[in-house]
Amino acid sequence: MPPLITVKSATQDDHGVLTDLFHAIDLHYLGETAATREAVADHVARDVLPSGCEILIAERDGVAIGLITFAVLYPAPDLGGQLVMKDLFVVDAARGAGVGRIMLAHLARLAAERGCVRLDWTAETDNPRALAFYDRIGARRVTEKVYFRLDGELLKQMAAETPKR
């Protein structure tokens, strides 16, 4: 029998597990330029856990192997909510074992239970494995939307336009 994969909501008690997973994400995407584990631990305690962002943790035999970060936003059509997934991450050793699908199914169930009318997310165009995964599960690519971002100096300039309190 294959190992059982479970999904649970993260709590304050999961600081160490979240630190490990967030550090693994940094290493995966940034390589040698990733933050140290200590810096990630501080970030998780100071910024992530108090933020209100919800996190699901996938475990196999009691070992954390993936996470999803998400939030419910309003308004959405038909007076429902829109569940927005920020990240879905599975550690290298667990990729290809169905963990992502299990986590996404859990998230879809949460969305339905909370009265959300849709589940949205973005994916990087240079991540063919993620794109192929989302295509395989039947997710619709949203072509009628354009993704925008303010960052760096432009973010600071825009922020400076607001009156100080």
State the amino acid at position 113 in one-letter form. Answer: E
Q: Is residue 165 part of a domain?
A: no
Half-sphere exposure of 138 (CA within 13 A, CB side): 1
The whole-angstrom separation of Cα 108 and Cα 119 is 7
Q: Is residue 41 part of a domain?
A: yes
CA angle 67, 70, 71 (to 5 degrees): 160
pLDDT tens-digit map of 137-156:
999 999 999 999 999 999 99
Which domain CATH number covers 53? 3.40.630.30
State the average pLDDT over residues 124-142: 95
What confidence score (pLDDT) does residue 31 get?
A: 94
Q: Is residue 61 part of a domain?
A: yes
State the average pLDDT over residues 42-66: 95
Domain total of the chain = 1
- Domain of 96 in residue numbering reads as 5-160
Question: Encoding tokens for residue 23?
Answer: 């550090």
| Number of other residues whose CB lies within 10 A of the CB of residue 125 | 8
The whole-angstrom separation of Cα 61 and Cα 92 is 16
